[in-house]
Structure 1
């Protein structure tokens, strides 16, 4: 698993998205971005889902069960149901971030909001979210499921799937297809490296970025 994580971490989300495209797989998500510059992440998914509390109380704070389930290097992925364009609360904050850091969790991805960004930055914990707000989840959101399938921005995500996130967005890769996706993405890296070398030595852009570029996913 560590080898797969290292290979995934070496790729950017754009090339992983291209590899998914070549296989006809959905998995790329736009608009969920690092909350501090440089917060890249890659690893296996521990999914959880939060829902509006609507007057219900919870036996524990959301996120704690996912952190106890996660192995070092895993990524906690949060579906914040009905979050809307401006979520009414965060579903990740400073104490949860501290716990994640102490347990060597690889990062957090939230289809919703987080808070305590200054603390998260100081911890150097990679966190990607759709929004940042100051509002607590207490009394607003509760945990619904942990370690069960979720839907993240329309993408089905299962326990043990793979996720990567950087400044371009987030990509999910089904566990059963990770080797195939990595192989294709790595071949695309090699192709783009050759094109970059050609541009640097002065080859015409129209030649370098011609038909071969437009069709570089064909046959992958």
Structure 2
């Protein structure tokens, strides 16, 4: 090999190798940085020690920010004080004054098990008992059959610290608005039909609405008629 060619080869080799290493570094998988939750929301969803049973802090790293509780613009023909559940958007709105509403993130029922229409909050319960429906016990007797007499309230109760019981024309719909410890489920369709909120959110909503509150549950963009 001529002397000049050997020199060019030696000088070029490191550049070639460096290029390969750079390419591998660029294609290596990089884990996304953990979500940074603003202090305001950390305090909003902090643990509650003044409850009958302890309420753990919500793990907001498992919840998309759009599902954190916040006041938003919400033009609607519904009267202030109405609860509007938008199952497609995974949001619950408590209608306020001047086109505003308090918005909460929710988990909703699986396909075929959702409630749709207009109901009323017949009554409210703090730290309620939970009893599976007859359909649930029939579908999965091994899991639910022993709970026919109900489950005591507490941190592991599926209804969480609060529940709003929805009736239509005076008849129990068997659907509830309630809390959950499964923070990851907010924004998803996972439950057996009920509308679930983060525990801090159901406590907040519970304090704002009386029995008799109108509840509109939407499966599409239009509000159902009474």
Tell me the TM-score normalised to structure 1 length.
0.26
Q: Report the structure number with the largest CA radius of gyration.
A: 2
Which structure ranks higher in relative contact order (CA pairs < 8 Å, sequence separation ≥ 6)? 1
Q: TM-score, normalised by structure 2?
A: 0.26
